[in-house]
Structure 1
């Protein structure tokens, strides 16, 4: 593989591209209009991470015919985790998600001192974990990767 940065596109089925675009804009993602239309919206999280919001029919057109699309409101196929630079940023994205119609803290928040996380569900039930980790944390009991037992 080349050393150039790879770009990730997470593809999520949504009931309404316009409603989901408004939700993700409210929590701080930016719409990339080049890759958006009436049935899909590209929302940028960072220079290398994007979320493609695809209306159900469009999403299904990318899935093998032998598979059905999961209903994120009743089942979980994956958890999406994003990191933030501070605890305050974790709390802010959760507050914005709640104000925009998402479900805050669908699982209990986790506070381990050196790591803090909360989660939300978007309008379609997709679960996002938002985490902050202390960059100065170095586990004292972690084995040295170079040592051999």
Structure 2
């Protein structure tokens, strides 16, 4: 039986800038599924992003495209193996042109349950929430 995979489709204003951002944080472009309208970004064997130009993105739905730069349209939480990986990914995102959103109340709540998380926003306004959960046992 084949593994399940997830493909997250994100609209981007500048495809080349978006590809550079995600490559800068350590994710890979799959050239087999990349052209002038879209780029496949491989996070791991089961998770990929499809970065789509805004015009191309609108061909997939008749619903209006949201403004991810000014409003929250989704939160992309990504479980990582350690708090160090969370920090390294977030720092790489900031160095690549992303911004960090700091919510002290949220961090305090996460710490109470043994979780370490941070939040970064990519240049197109997509919000990522890498986290590590220390499971008891």
- Give the RMSD, CA atoms, in angstroms: 1.5
- Tell whether 2:35 aligns with 1:37: yes
- Tell whether 2:78 aligns with 1:82: yes
Partner of 2:111: 112
**CA offset at residue 106 of structure 1?**
4.7
Name the SS for the 2:85 alignment partner: helix
Name the SS for the 1:95 alignment partner: helix
Name the SS for the 1:41 alignment partner: strand
Deviating above 6 A after TM superposition, structure 1's stretches of 4 or more consecutive aligned residues are none
Q: Which has the larger radius of gyration?
A: 1
Alignment of 1:7-46 (within 5 A): 7-46=5-44
Alignment of 1:42-121 (within 5 A): 42-64=40-62, 67-108=63-104, 110=107, 111-112=110-111, 114-121=114-121
Unaligned runs of 5+ residues in structure 2 are none
Could you state the TM-score of these two structures normalised by the residue count of structure 2?
Answer: 0.91
**CA offset at residue 6 of structure 1?**
1.2
Name the SS for the 1:123 alignment partner: coil
**CA offset at residue 74 of structure 1?**
1.1
Name the SS for the 1:90 alignment partner: helix
Unaligned runs of 5+ residues in structure 1 are 139-149
Name the SS for the 1:68 alignment partner: coil
Superposed CA deviations along residues 53-103 of structure 1, whole A, max 9, x for unmatched, are 000000001112xx1100111111210000111111111111100110001
Name the SS for the 2:34 alignment partner: strand
User: Does the 8 A contact of 1:115 with 1:134 survive in 2?
Assistant: yes
User: Does the 8 A contact of 1:106 with 1:121 survive in 2?
Assistant: no
